[in-house]
């Protein structure tokens, strides 16, 4: 009744059906692609975080050193991050979100035609 060829054909058909279902089902190939894209995105975030960590390590080393460049960098950080100013400096605070419109420049010299020359 069942010869070896028909058993082999039935097994191959079942295997192909299972494979097709596994690839085309929502948990199959689409889910795999989605997870791969998410893994790539996370890998990029990790690389950015590592680069930021290296930058911060360099800044820490510079802040701890006593070199002339370190002093300038320390002053830069104190000014930018903490908002400190020197004693002889004046600070101009502008309201946020409001931009004042400067008047358009007016000509200082009038042409002969504007003066009413003949």
Q: 41-82, pLDDT tens digit by residue?
A: 999 999 999 999 999 898 888 777 777 777 787 788 888 888
Question: Which pLDDT does position 99 carry in this prediction?
Answer: 64
The reply to whether 112 falls in a domain is: no
Domain presence at residue 58: yes
Within-domain flag for 107: no
pLDDT at 101 over 70: no
Q: Closest Cα partner for 17 from 27, 9, 26?
A: 9
Q: Considering its fold, how many domains does the chain have in total?
A: 1
Task: Determine, yes or no, domain membership for 70.
Answer: yes
* Domain region containing 64: 4-86
CA 54 remoteness from chain centre:
17
pTM of the model: 0.44
Q: What does the alpha-carbon distance between residue 60 and residue 76 come to, in Å, rounded to a whole number?
A: 13
Report the residue count for the chain: 118
**With contact defined as beta carbons under 8 Å apart, do 34 and 40 qualify?**
no
């Amino acid at each position: 009744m069942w010869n070896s060829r028909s058993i082999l054909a039935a097994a191959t058909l079942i295997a192909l059906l299972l494979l097709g279902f596994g690839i085309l089902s929502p948990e199959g190939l689409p889910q795999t692609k989605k997870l791969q894209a998410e893994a790539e995105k996370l890998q990029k975030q990790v690389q950015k975080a590592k680069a930021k960590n290296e930058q911060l390590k360099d800044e820490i080393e510079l802040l701890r050193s006593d070199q002339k460049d370190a002093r300038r960098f320390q002053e830069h950080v104190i000014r930018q991050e903490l908002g400190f100013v020197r004693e002889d400096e004046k600070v101009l605070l502008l309201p946020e979100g409001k931009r004042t419109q400067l008047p358009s420049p007016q000509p200082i010299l009038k042409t002969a035609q504007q003066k009413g020359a003949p």
